[in-house]
Structure 1
């Protein structure tokens, strides 16, 4: 599976939007696969929740929504290796107080560089879903502008 992902990362370089989302059930190995890719390429995975959360926690509450996009861009520049950025634990991007559109934000980053991110939701009927309908953070997206990389089983 690592070989297939590694090849896909190289193949998307020519696309306009260079976003690969690792999608699968919780515990299927998405984060582990991303860590293997990072190790193989001599990179670090950006833990969005930890590093962006730390950056935003230093700001007054009302400034966080205004600065989240800028802070993420600065952190992405620090974590990217060449034109590749690896992202995990992106749940913070769905926090309603930040007023972000998480998938749009990832796609915008993927115009400038290749982005591989672990999707914390699921792929259902050709749609990316985050949270359950009725949940305040519920999101439902089409697959335009991204490449889903489905992981079926653990290992």
Structure 2
């Protein structure tokens, strides 16, 4: 599976958006696959919940939504190694108070480098979803501009 993922990453070279989303049920192995890729490519995995959460805690709640994209960019620039960004634990980006689209935040980074991210939701009827309908953090996105990699 890791070789197939590496081929997908290599195939992003000519694309405008170099975003590969790892799709799979909880405990399907998305984080383990990122860890394996991290070891092979010698690139760290950016734990968004931990790193971005730490940076946001230093800001007043009323200003966090104004800084989240710039903070994420700085973390991504630091974590990206060999022109590759590996991202996990993005659930914090779904927090409605931050007023960002997690997919757009990832796509912004994927314009300048390949990005491989674990998607914490599902692919249903060709739509990326997070949380169930009616949940305060529920989001639904088109997968356009992404490469989907199913982990089973």
TM over 0.5: yes
Structure 1: tracts of 5 or more residues without a match? none
1:105 maps to which residue? Answer: 105
1:150 maps to which residue? Answer: 150
Structure 2: tracts of 5 or more residues without a match? none
Q: CA deviation at 1:105?
A: 1.2
For 1:14, what is the secondary structure of its paired residue? coil
**TM-score, reference length from structure 2:** 0.98
> For 1:42 and 1:83, how far apart are their aligned partners in 2?
11
> For 1:129 and 1:96, how far apart are their aligned partners in 2?
15
Q: CA deviation at 1:82?
A: 2.9
The answer on 1:80 being equivalent to 2:80 is yes
> For 1:96 and 1:121, how far apart are their aligned partners in 2?
16
* Equivalence map 1:46-57=2 (5 Å): 46-57=46-57
4+ long deviations beyond 4 Å? none
RMSD (Å), alpha carbons: 0.7
For 1:86, what is the secondary structure of its paired residue? strand
> For 1:86 and 1:119, how far apart are their aligned partners in 2?
12
> For 2:12 and 2:43, how far apart are their aligned partners in 1?
18
1:23 maps to which residue? Answer: 23
Q: CA deviation at 1:143?
A: 1.4
> For 1:43 and 1:114, how far apart are their aligned partners in 2?
12
* Equivalence map 1:1-155=2 (5 Å): 1-152=1-152
For 1:112, what is the secondary structure of its paired residue? coil
Q: CA deviation at 1:109?
A: 1.1
> For 2:74 and 2:121, how far apart are their aligned partners in 1?
25
Q: CA deviation at 1:75?
A: 0.5
